[in-house]
Amino acid sequence: MTTSPRQIKLGAFLMQTGHHIAAWRHPDAQADAGVNFKHYVELARRAEAAKFDAVFLADAVGVRNRNIDSLSRTARSDHFEPLTLLSALAAVTEQIGLIATVSTTYNEPYHVARKFASLDQISGGRSGWNLVTSSGEGEAQNFNLDAHVDHAQRYARAAEFHDVVLGLWDSWEDDAFIRDKDSGVYFEPEKLHPLNHRGEHFRVRGPLNVARSPQGRPVVVQAGASPAGRDLAARTAEVIFVAHQTFEEAQSFYRDIKQRARDYGRDPDQIKIMPGIFPVIGRTQAEAEEKFARLQDLIHPIVGVQLLSNMIGGFDLSAYPVDGPLPDLPETNGGKSRQQLLIDLARRENLSIRDLYLRIAGARGHQQIIGTPQSVADQLQQWFEEEGADGFNIMSPWLPGGLDDFIDLALPELRRRGLVRTEYQGHTLRDHLGLHRPEHRAVVGHRLSQAA
């Protein structure tokens, strides 16, 4: 039996008009992208034709930017609810994976299990759930709270939430529904498994009223990098989206997660680590730098300062000199790992507030690459081959042009090196990612009891 060579996994991270904070002002950007379904159809089909593993939609259940002057100058306040959008995209694509963010803090497990199981049925086994705990105060205030739930409590809830969702996805064995017209038996009762969960945060009887997923269950994705986030990801995640500024950080995170997975008795190869990459690509280095400079020139200072304020945990920087240093910051109750990443970057490179917001205006703390197809491929190859990543979430600077640049310029170079696929080898998201199809818990339990 031959083993296929390990290849880079690729996600197309679709952020409305693009990931650069001023992308909507780019002359070639689709300014109304957030509510333009045709725009998303074209992007998803383009990514599928390029054999990406998945498209990914981030989400927050609220408008994060509370500064009206900044909010009115950004394209982040109107966009589709992601599961609704992905269900529609499932009907106009055939093989590409469909991953969406849904928060464990402001949802209930039964809702999440049912929606992703439905998407998996509709798409033929292509769905993935990006489990997050939310990070913004604005989200809390849309759900009967004055302040965001404490970080530790959010992660404790998330861990139990995950377990309930997975239990609900195993409500039915694969062949439970026989639908035999002659006998009048629709499903075999012994293959139904109500959950009957009673825990600290949730009481859920079940069963789920959706049959077991074509791929066993939807793929579980996570994005946390704090100590609590790492531990939850090592125990539960199958894909991890993460932000790194240096190769050394990427290597350290990669090795830490894989070891934590081993400690939990998991196969580390069954966790795919996919850092976000913000590539600006030109046929020459000068062309790439000119493309990036054009975007940077479109940033209004009010927008830049507010973006940074949001990214460091909601601390308002507007009262500080924009060309002065980043002040000492209190610990955030939001995204702790991202706050620390940005503090470390500012201190390491002696960046002013303006310098720092210019640095994150596109990648928001993820790795930024400005270069030629060859230099972009060089970096991705190094991270992939030297234990920094299993793949990458491609964060196009503006859309659709930034995604086109990656597909038309960088992908041919990666294919020339044998680093990415030329054709899909399967039909489900698990097939694409090289993840095992999980057996039903009851089937595993029965086999173990028989062997005892």
Binding site: which residues? 59, 101, 151, 155, 226
**To which residue do tokens 């050394």 refer?**
248
Annotated binding residues for FMN = 59, 101, 151, 155, 226
- Angstrom CA distances, 252 to 68, 249, 375, stand at 39, 5, 23
Contacts 24+ apart (CB under 8 A), 287-293: 288/370, 288/371, 288/372, 289/370, 291/397, 292/362, 292/370, 292/397
Residue 328 gets the label, from left (phi > 0), alpha (psi -120 to 50) or beta, of beta
CB atoms within 10 A of CB 263: 11
Q: Count CA within 13 A, CB hemisphere, residue 418.
A: 4
Please state, in angstroms and rounded to a whole number, the distance separating the CA atoms of residues 15 and 241: 15
How many CA within 13 A on the CB side of residue 178?
A: 12
Alpha-carbon separation of residue 10 from 180, 212, 361 (angstroms): 42, 27, 22
Report the run of H or E that residue 242 belongs to, with start and end.
strand 239-242
Name the β-bridge partners of 273.
Answer: 240
For residues 308 and 359, the answer to whether their CB atoms sit within 8 Å is no
Structure tokens at 15: 């952020």
Q: List all residues 6 or more positions away from 79 whose beta carbon is below 8 Å from its beta carbon.
A: 16, 34, 35
Angle at 416 (CA atoms; ends 250, 28), nearest 5 degrees:
75
Dist CA 432 CA 452 (whole Å): 35
* Angle at which helices 109-123 and 151-169 cross, to 10°: 50
